[in-house]
């Protein structure tokens, strides 16, 4: 383990994040999971999807 990560974990143990920050991270994680599930079930609209482009050689 890197010494920097050990110091970061010690600092986080002394001053944990506020409940507001924990709630924000939880809401964002749930939103991402919901979007992935909706997309996998096929309910995601086509206009919200990114169309992959074919790889082209760069122009000179």
Give every CB contact of residue 38 below 8 A, 6+ residues apart in sequence: 44
Which DSSP state fits 42?
T
Inside any domain, residue 35? yes
Inside any domain, residue 22? yes
Inside any domain, residue 60? no
Burial class (CB in 10 A: 0-12, 13-18, 19+), 44: middle
- How far apart CA 43 and CA 60 sit, in angstroms, is 41
**Into how many domains does the chain fold?**
1
Structural domain span for residue 37: 17-43
**For residue 59, what pLDDT is reported?**
65
Q: What are 13-59's pLDDT values in tens digits?
A: 999 999 999 999 999 999 999 999 998 998 988 888 777 665 666 66
Inside any domain, residue 31? yes
């Amino acid at each position: 383990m890197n010494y920097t990560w050990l110091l970061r974990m010690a600092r986080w143990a002394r001053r944990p994040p506020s409940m507001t920050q924990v709630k924000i991270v939880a809401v964002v994680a749930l939103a991402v999971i919901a979007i992935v599930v909706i997309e996998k079930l096929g309910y995601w609209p086509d206009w919200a999807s990114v169309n992959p482009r074919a790889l082209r050689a760069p122009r000179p």
